[in-house]
Structures are given as structure tokens and as C-alpha cells.
Structure 1
Amino acid sequence: MSGWWNDFSKNLATDLAPLISLLGEAPTKQYLSECLTPTDMVIFAMAPLGILTAVVSVIRVCGTPSLRAFIGRAQEGGGNAEAELCSSTSRDVCELYNNGGIARVFGRPKLLEIVHDAEASNESFYQSAQGAATAGIYPFKDYIRTPRGQQEWEERPAEVMFTIRRRKRSLKSTENGNASSPSTRFAPNPNLSLNVGIKSRSEAWFIIAAVLGFTLQTAVLAWAALARYAFRLIRGGSRDVYAVSMTVVGTVFLCSGMTLCAFLVERSTKERLFERKLDSKPESRMYWIQPGNQVIGDQVFDSFAYTDRENASIKYTTSWKESEPPHVAWVWGAVVSTMVGFVLQFLGLRACHSSVSVAQLGAMLVMSVVRAALRTERLRKEDNIMADHPDFYQGHELDWLALELGNKCKWQVFSSEIYHPEQSSEGGAT
């Protein structure tokens, strides 16, 4: 009787870790949609969870029609995959505030995103030879072109691997006569999730998480070797010959395939990241205004207003869908590497001592908590300035914005002997 129970417990511990790694659809989709850097990809691939979801996701986003038909997605449009798995906005996909969270929906929303420069010069209120009057209010893409915007913000260069492939795309788009070069492009709709919905953490936390994941996964493989060759924890039979080697090879293939899956999903979008300069005092403020009673699809969205006045934004990200698909060989490489790696790891863990599977299960649980904890700080319901009385603000969101900007500005009265608006108008006409 005791022998039967020991066999049952050992088999349960051995089979549980690989089977659990196949699950986790919702966390995997959420992490893929927010995965932007190589550090994110390493964190995603170490002691991975949601293996099947990762494979299906890369096929949905980057796969050929034949591959999509194989997983039952032959009739799915590109917008569905973009809304679930990507960080971008496009003509088909937008982001709106919806009762405490940011929803990615289909349609073309009414959402205003502006930068207000409270220290704007007096000339900016009048039309001149340099252009129309702005009153210190700009879209972000226009503000960073102004002298004050260039003093306050700078574009952060992408990582080396992304710089190379995006530079190639830039050259290709220039050869094809594409007027919208990557250095000037912005997403067609504001990216609420990246700039408002997620409270960004320091990059050091992501590096620590990546190092932790790599250490845990390496420690599991090291324990598999120690248990077999140092402590002689063996099952007996021919399985001891291939147990450790198959576990190591399978884990390497699996982690490499998961990294490639995350890379291809991220490669389907393009981002530009701007950061405030450390030596600059935040003089501008950003506002996001959403009209109430807005119907997109079958959903009704209430009024929404958010500003970074009290906690100035440090980063600004714009993300849009990339039209150039990756080569099909990369997609096949990601799918084959991930699935072959899972099978080899599964067979290897079954041949190893049960403590190795328990260690792999523990590493997966730890990394699942780490991945979730990196982006737990989200937009709260009370951060919406109009959350208390959405019906009261409905239809008057721009009126609220005008009063808000007026209350925060430093107004001065100029004598007609000092400043002549009509002269400025005449100068603009000439």
C-alpha cells in the first residue's frame, strides 16, 4: 500500500509542473501586451507559464493564414489579435477609460490628449509669422518640436537589437517614398495604458527580476545535475541516462522559443519613448479628456479626466502597429522551438527525481508572482477627476478643461502701451 502511495505522489509531483506551465492564458496575454523591452522578454521566458497561449499568440499576430487556420483563427481579423496582445493603437483599435480601468476596444474614439505650457510666452496667444496661436496648448508630438519642449523632453534611444531592425525599416520606408518616417511617426490614438493606466517602476526592478528569473531557472538545472550525479537520487533503469541532458536541452529550447514568441509579438508594433530630462524642472502638464456618453461598439463610456499636475509624468510612450510582417521562418522557429522544448523538458523531468519537478514548479510560481508584481500599480478609480459625478460633467468636459487651465495659469494685465495685439495680427497677416 505504501509503495502505491509513493509512486502516486512521485508521479503527481513529476507531472504537475509541466502541465501547469501550459496554463495561464489571461496573465500571459496581459504580459505580452505590455512587453516592450528585451528585459521584459527575458522575464517572460524564465520559468515560463502559459506556453500554449504564447504559441497561439505569436501565430495570431504574425502567422500566415495557414497557421492561423491550424489553430482555428482563419477568419479572425488583425484587429482582434492587436486588441488582445499588442500595446499599439491604430485605425481599428483604441483605448478608453471604462469604470476604473483602461479598455482596448474597436472603433475611433473621442479622446483628447494635450500638453499645457503654463509658462508660454505672450506671443503664443496671437497668430504670427511662425504659425497659428497655440496659447501654450499642444499635442505632445508638436510640443516636443518647440524649443521649450526640447529643453524638457528627450527621446530615449532604443536598445541595440531594436535599433538595428528599426533602422533597416526606416531605410526601406524611405526607399518606398513613405513620408511618415519612424523619427516623426506617432500612434493615431493616445496610448492610455502605457502613459496613464500603468504606473511605471524603475528600470532597476525589471533588471533585478530578469536576473532572478535566470538564476532560478539555472538553479533548477543545476539541482537536476546535482541530484543525479552528486546525491545519486535516481529512479533506476535507462531513464537515468538521458534525464538530466534532456531536461537541460528541453529547458534551453523552451526558454529560447518563449523569448522569440515575445520578441515577434513586440516586433509587430513600434514604439517611441520620451523621458523628461533630469536637469529640467517640469513646466508643462499633460491632460487626457474623454467625453461622456460615448458609445464604442456595445459599450458606453463615461466622462474621464486625468492630469499629471501633482505627479509629473517621467516617461511618455507612443505605440502603433507595424505593417511589415516578420519572415515566416521566424514564426516557425518560435513555434517549433517552444513545443519541442516543452516535450523534451516534460520527458526529462519525468525521468529526473521528483524534487527537480518540485523545484521547477516553485520557480514558476515565484516568477509568476514577480511578473504580476512588476505592473501592479494601476490607475485607480479616484484618479479620474470626473469619477464622482460623471453625469454632471457630461457634455461639459472642455468647459472643465478651460477652467482648469485658467486657474493654473499666471495671468498678467498688459498696458496697451506695452503690448499691441493688433500689431501682432498685422504681422501675422504679412
Structure 2
Amino acid sequence: QQFLSEAYSIWDCVIFATAPLGIITAIVTAIRISGPLWMCALIGRAREDLSSVELELMSSTSRDVGEIWNGETIVRSAGRLNVVQLILIRSESDDPPPKPKSDGSLDPQDDAEKAASEAPKIDVREFENAPNISLNLHSGSEWAILASAALIGTVLQLGVVVYSGSVTFHSGLRKLIPPYSDHVPHLAKMGFILLASGTVILTLALIVVCNVIETSTSEREWRVDNQLKEVRVMWLQRERYVGDQQFDAAILFAREDKHRVLTSQRSSGMKRRVKRSANIESIRHNIWRHVASNRTEWITLTSTTIAMVGFGLQFQGLRFLNWSCSLVQLAAIFAMTLIRATLRRGL
């Protein structure tokens, strides 16, 4: 769930969909974020408001949800939090500030004001949303690393299918692994067909499911000009009480110099979805609007349904195949879990 909430590229979706861990969690997350009301009712979330969904499942911040340091780690909390983000940029030519020059004035304050007017102007932009601390504490992974991880996941998942086919149809390999058999069992043939088709269906559907979760937030990337060499990001946090929990004052620094700053907020489509779903009673005459009221809900409904079908086919196929196929699939899941944890090691 944490990996999904921090996904903001197609590579993240592919990394999650190959040898996945937490298939049901991903499906439930997509339904809670962008599913129609009747699907939310099926999982017991019909009365859940958007702030609760954002707090638990998204990377975005808003006027209702923010991130704060609790003394041990960064946590997400509801309500307005007194946290300010500061970005310190030092250029390659950091000259000292101009010194006041005497022009014969009797008031030294005039010279100081004149020197201040000659200093470069700093563009300060204020945002209504709370700052995104977790996205900027670490530098993140470059697209080349993400693409490599996605390629490894694809190879591992294909390797499971290839191994299953080999242990099923290759007579020499079939005789080396118990229960040693001279012929291809009928159920094994069916199991391989179910496994291969289910794996393809599940992987493609999970990519769409992950993309539904990823597009629920809108990320913006603020890059620094090449001529600027050092950028430090810090957060100033005032003491705050949220319910019975106390958050002490703190100053947080990013682990290293950065070349970009990420901001994440709820996409405009999320607001339209909630508004239309709330007015579902006014469109009872249209049966299709009962099923899904907009394009995002249709995509969520279709992708989650297909993912469940693919998961069932893959699971049933593994039951019919040799026992070693399940171990190979488990090893692929374990390897991809380590890769995902490595990619998110800075969180």
C-alpha cells in the first residue's frame, strides 16, 4: 500500500504488477479511491469521505491532510498543521551582500536601505496545501533505475511462466523433479494454460489498477537551473496538538542536496468523481450511470474485475502444476519485494 501511494510514473506501476505482493490490497485501494459507490459499499467503505482516503492511500497533501514529524518518523495527519517548507538555493557565484556605502548622509539607516534595495530579489511563492515532506526527504530514484527494476520484474515473471512450461512439457526436466513422470499429466496441461493466461491478464490489469491510483494525485516537479549547484530543503514545524497526540517543534533537513522538489495534490478528477457520485439519486433513469458514473469509475470497475479473474486463473493454474512452480513464483515475489523495498528505502 505504501509503494502504491508513492507511485508517480508508469515504471512504478510495472514494478508493482510484476510478481506482485498485495493484489487484493491494490484492488481495494483502487476501489476506495476511484470506484463507484456500489463497489465501495461492497468493501464496507460507502460512507468514507475523500479526506480519509487521501490520508491513508495517497501521497498528496491538502488543507485537510498534512505530514508532520512525530519524533521518530514522518506521519500523515488530518487537519491544518503548522509546517513551513523552506528551499535554500546557493548559486556558484555566492558573493557577499553589498555593504552600505556612505553618500554623505547623516542617517546610516538610509545607506542600509539603499544597500538592501541593490540586493537580488527573491521570488517567494506560497501554496495553500501543506508541504510534501516524505516525497522530498530523499532524492528518489531516477527513471533509469526504475526502468531497470521494471525490466527485472518482467524477466522474473516471464521466467516463472517459462519454468512452468519447461517442467510440464520437457521430459528430461520432468523426470528430475518429483513426482517423476514419463508423460504429461492432463491437469498439468490445463494448469499451464491457466497459469500463462492468468499471469498475462493479472499483470496487465494490475498496471491499469496501479495507474488509477497513481493518477488520483497530480505531481509537479520543480527543477533547479543548471547554474545553481546547491539546493537544501528544510521544514520548520511548530508545536501542535492533534486530538490527544502532541507533536513537538522540530526542524527537518533533506538528507542531501537536491536538484528537484516534488509537490503532490489531489487531481481535479477526484473532485468531479465525488460530486457526481453524490448526485447519483438524480440519474436513476439511466441504468449505466448506476454502474459507473464517469470514465474513471468505468476504468476502475473493469480493471479490478479483470485483475480478480486473472488472479483466480493464476492461482488455480499453480494448483494443477508441479509443486516447484509455486516455489519459483514465491521466489520471484520475494525478489521483487526486496527491489520495491530498496527503491523506497529513503521513506
Q: What TM-score, normalized by structure 2, do the two folds share?
A: 0.78
Letter of the 2:16 partner, please give it: F
Offset of residue 323 of structure 1: 2.9
**What CA distance in whole angstroms lies between the structure 1 residues aligned with 2:304 and 2:166?**
31
CA distance in 2, matches of 1:137, 1:117: 10
Give yes or no for the alignment of 1:104 onto 2:45.
Answer: no
The reply to whether residue 304 of structure 1 matches residue 265 of structure 2 is no
Whole-Å Cα distance in 1 between the matches of residues 119 and 37 of structure 2? 48
* 1:103-182 to 2 correspondences below 5 Å: 103-116=75-88, 119=94, 139=124, 141=125
Does structure 2 retain, via aligned residues, the 8 Å contact 1:256–1:337? no
CA contact (8 A) 2:168 2:189 kept: no
Tell me, what secondary structure is at the counterpart of 2:136?
helix
Letter in 1 for 2:319: R
Contact 2:230–2:258 (CA under 8 A) maintained in structure 1: no
1:316 aligned partner: 261
Amino acid aligned to 2:21 = L
**What is the aligned counterpart of 2:190 among 223, 242, 266?**
242
Q: Distance in 2 between matches of 1:79 and 1:133?
A: 46
**Is 1:221 equivalent to 2:161 in the alignment?**
yes
CA distance in 1, matches of 2:123, 2:66: 21
What's 1:58 paired with?
30
Q: How does 1:264-413 map to 2 (within 5 A)?
A: 264-277=212-225, 279-282=226-229, 285-292=232-239, 294-307=240-253, 311-324=256-269, 325=273, 326-378=295-347
1:122–1:329 Cα change, 3 Å = farther
The aligned amino acid for 1:317 is L
Q: Which runs of 5+ in 1 are unaligned?
A: 1-28, 143-185, 379-430
> Aligned pairs, how many?
298
8 Å Cα contact 1:251-1:342 kept in structure 2: yes
**Match for 2:2: what amino acid?**
Q
Distance 1:236 1:229 in 2: 6
Instruction: Measure, in 2, the Cα distance between the counterparts of 1:315 and 1:190.
Output: 14
Quick one: distance in 1 between partners of 2:140 and 2:67?
18
Contact 1:116 1:136 survives alignment (8 Å) = no
Partner SS for 2:21: coil
Task: Give the drift of 1:230.
Answer: 1.7
CA RMSD in angstroms, aligned pairs only? 2.8
Q: Secondary structure, in 3 states, of the residue corresponding to 1:282?
A: strand
Provide closer, same or farther for how the CA distance between residues 337 and 134 of structure 1 changes in structure 2, counting only shifts above 3 A.
Answer: farther
SS of 2:252's partner is: strand
Aligned counterpart, 2:106: none
Q: Which digits, 9 at most, give the CA deviation of each residue in 1:245-294, with x for residues without a partner?
A: 111110111111211111001111101112334x42325543311112x1
Q: Which residue of 2 aligns with 1:22?
A: none
1:106-157 CA-to-partner distances (Å, cap 9, x unmatched) read: 001111112345659769x969xxxx99986654x47xxxxxxxxxxxxxxx
2-side partners of 1:187 and 1:319: how far apart?
A: 12
Shift, 1:203, TM fit = 3.3
Match of 2:130 among 176, 189, 193: 189
